Structure 1
Amino acid sequence: MIGLYHPRARGRCRMTKKPDPFTVPFGSILCDWMTTARADDGPFVYRGSPEPFGDLSISPAAHVLHYGSAIFEGLKAHRQVDGSVAIFRLDSHVARMVTSASRLRLPEIDPSLLHQMIVDAVAANADEVPDPPGSLYIRPTLIGTGADIGAAAHPASSALLFVVNSPVGDYFKGGIRPLTLQLETSTPRTVPQFGMVKCGANYAMALGPTLDAMAGNEAIDQVLFATEGDITETGASNFFLADDERIVTRHLDESFLHGVTRDSVIQLARHFGYEVEERSIDPEELVDWSERGEAFLSGTAAGVAPVGTILYSGKTLTIGTGQPGPNTLRLRQALTDAQTGAAPDTFVWRTPVGSQ
């Protein structure tokens, strides 16, 4: 008899019908299979195969619900030009999640175990990977589950690690279009000490300013944070300036997320011969760049997204012509080609995945 979680049983399970990912909000469709592993005062234990997607059961006293012991990652699998599926920058995302777990004093993650859980989940859901420009969004998550409401000064000793997938279309509505950003100079982007950790609190920090900006001007797509006069990132993406010879982005420190897509863009730019400047960016620089350069965002969800307008101190800065610039489009296409197998895997970024 074949059990519910046996690979051959999965092969017999019909994929449930789902809407076109380009017609619904990003991340709102969930695939049929997931992977889970639990740690109870020891290492994580993974059953070795995917299980049907379903609700999780945790105690009302779970550490995560009271003390915020939660981290996650966001990466993608892409349909390749030959019809196969590959995960983009898998090892880099695994490494970042391992670091995040350590910073929040969550149980240690074995990188090889997380790697396998992600590959298994994507393989089980391979039929749901849409054709480009769509992709399969991958969300590994780790939460503290120990039932102890008095554990404010203690780390979670037990935890749940799980991976779910979502077929997605464009992150920003309208596809490739120039975005409008509102510059925010007073509110911090992240929680001090944990800026480089991918945890919910950092996204909550950006939510209020972003919603307030959008409520005041429906044309605004994102808020660009420049706390204490130093531009770092938006609530979901890193920020770049570009011209025909160079790209400029904020140097890394612990105040904001070290984007994997940011790193991909930098490596591609150097490969093309651009000079790369990683340094502080004063908001006043935007006036000069608006007259002669380009700006764009980078992120797993957004890819490379052109910026056409920045609202700053009552001024409306039109970046270049206000339309996607040639350097932005060149880097965007190079990233897409690297993700989808349309270009050689020069940097060894793709992890092939077979369906199960």
Structure 2
Amino acid sequence: MSALTFPQSDTSRRIGDAERAAILADPGFGTHFTDFMAHARWSEASGWSEDEIVPFGPITLSPASAVLHYGQEIFEGMKAFRHDDGSVWTFRPEQNARRMQRSAARLALPELPVEDFLASITALVRADEPWVPAPTGETSLYLRPFMYASEPFLGVRASHAVDYLVIASPAGAYFPRGVQPLVVWVTDAFARAGAGGTGSAKCGGNYASSLLAKYEAGEQGADEVMFLDSETHTFIDELSGMNVFAITEDQRILTPQLTGSILEGVTRASILQLAEDRGLTPVEERLAYDRVCEDLRAGRITEMFACGTAAVINPIGEFRDRHGSVRVGDGGSGETTLSLREELTGIQYGRLEDRYGWMTRLV
């Protein structure tokens, strides 16, 4: 049984029906927010308590809060999907809950029980149900659970007070161009994470460290940046917020192994399952970037793509680095890549059978 239930006392809506409908017609990504948010507090003395659904709005934070000085925070990313019958579902939420626990352990934050994580998601989506877009295209309600050190204290130690929230945002396509082949810049000037660091945790510092590299990529005319390992700058790590896959001519699907510097993506794990079930051989290993480029030029690697909750699966059409560029296949969207994407989104939106039991009904 969940210890937290996230009751809702204030049911008044912040945005009217007409304004909400206009937003849902063209939601963009991450620019609009729903009427409510879930909130709970943790203290060293009392544990988790004060759970509630409250109106979305500013939070009160002391200038001395530990998160502002020592970066002790983590987050997750999920989606809620409207099905044709009007019901609302989410995808493998227990995996997000467990990953958040692993992130919390790495950042010396309290671990929120899986049941309480699921209760917060369910309560918020039920309160914000009118915000879940109709099942047209690939719109969804993006969910952002996050946790931060809120104790007003200056000193390098784990915070004795923590706040947990879930906010929601109606979402369309992550990339402005939609599902089109990405041009990816491979940086050798920056690294995403080092051995023993926080690379496998979903924390803001990892993303902050990618921003300058993404700017570098933009200067090179690229859509995204790919990082190599910090020790040798030889092996593929991941993109700024997505895992990487390659498909070979002999029907293998390759992805960098989880070495502690790569985020264990929920979408990544799901793709490995879908690929194996359709006859591809999953291979998780350290992928040397130079070898990948050789295999691309020789046609031994025929497709590559990036994946994550926000973008789902997006083809990669070209890599650029300071030595030149290499095209992936014909530079377009690979057939297997798009087929995997169609299968995964089909399960998420209820268009295909959920034979894995991945979907959880919220409303």
Instruction: Tell me if both proteins adopt one fold, taking TM over 0.5 as the criterion.
Output: yes
2:4 matched residue in structure 1: none
Give me the whole-angstrom Cα distance separating, in 2, the residues matched to 1:101 and 1:111. Answer: 13
Give me the whole-angstrom Cα distance separating, in 1, the residues matched to 2:361 and 2:190. Answer: 42
Match of 1:236 among 234, 241, 251: 241
Q: Deviations over 1:112-161 (max 9, x none)?
A: 11110011111111211123411111000101111111x21x10111100
Match of 2:90 among 67, 87, 90: 87
Give me the whole-angstrom Cα distance separating, in 1, the residues matched to 2:309 and 2:96. Answer: 10
- In the TM superposition, 1:258-337 aligns within 5 A as 258-284=264-290, 285-292=292-299, 293-337=302-346
Q: Once the 2 structures are TM-superposed, how far is the Cα of residue 22 of structure 1 from its aligned partner? A: 7.3
Q: Once the 2 structures are TM-superposed, how far is the Cα of residue 290 of structure 1 from its aligned partner? A: 4.7
Q: Deviations over 1:215-256 (max 9, x none)?
A: x23x31110112320001100100010145121000112111
* Equivalent position SS for 1:253: coil
Structure 2 unaligned segments of length 5 or more: list them: 1-6
Q: Once the 2 structures are TM-superposed, how far is the Cα of residue 190 of structure 1 from its aligned partner? A: 2.1
- In the TM superposition, 1:164-243 aligns within 5 A as 164-190=167-193, 192=195, 193-214=197-218, 216-217=219-220, 219-227=221-229, 228-243=233-248
Give me the whole-angstrom Cα distance separating, in 2, the residues matched to 1:12 and 1:229. Answer: 51
Give me the whole-angstrom Cα distance separating, in 2, the residues matched to 1:301 and 1:191. Answer: 25
- RMSD of aligned Cα (Å): 2.0
1:147 matched residue in structure 2: 152
Match of 2:47 among 20, 43, 50: 43
Q: Once the 2 structures are TM-superposed, how far is the Cα of residue 88 of structure 1 from its aligned partner? A: 0.8
1:78 matched residue in structure 2: 81
Give me the whole-angstrom Cα distance separating, in 1, the residues matched to 2:109 and 2:240. Answer: 24
- Indicate conservation of the 8 Å contact 2:14/2:55, yes or no: no
- Indicate conservation of the 8 Å contact 1:31/1:53, yes or no: yes
Give me the whole-angstrom Cα distance separating, in 2, the residues matched to 1:247 and 1:125. Answer: 39
Give me the whole-angstrom Cα distance separating, in 1, the residues matched to 2:316 and 2:114. Answer: 36
* Equivalent position SS for 2:237: coil
Q: Deviations over 1:198-224 (max 9, x none)?
A: 11110011111111220x23x311101
Which residue identity lines up with residue 81 of structure 1 in the other structure?
D
Alignment TM-score, normalising by the size of structure 2: 0.90
1:68 matched residue in structure 2: 71
Give me the whole-angstrom Cα distance separating, in 1, the residues matched to 2:18 and 2:266. Answer: 32
Which residue identity lines up with residue 238 of structure 2 in the other structure?
E
Give me the whole-angstrom Cα distance separating, in 2, the residues matched to 1:12 and 1:54. Answer: 10
- Indicate conservation of the 8 Å contact 2:23/2:32, yes or no: no
- Indicate conservation of the 8 Å contact 2:142/2:169, yes or no: yes
Give me the whole-angstrom Cα distance separating, in 1, the residues matched to 2:338 and 2:139. Answer: 18
Match of 2:107 among 97, 104, 108: 104
Give me the whole-angstrom Cα distance separating, in 2, the residues matched to 1:57 and 1:290. Answer: 55
* Equivalent position SS for 1:210: helix
Q: Deviations over 1:252-304 (max 9, x none)?
A: 12111111100011011011111011011111222322553001000001100
2:140 matched residue in structure 1: 135
* Equivalent position SS for 1:71: strand
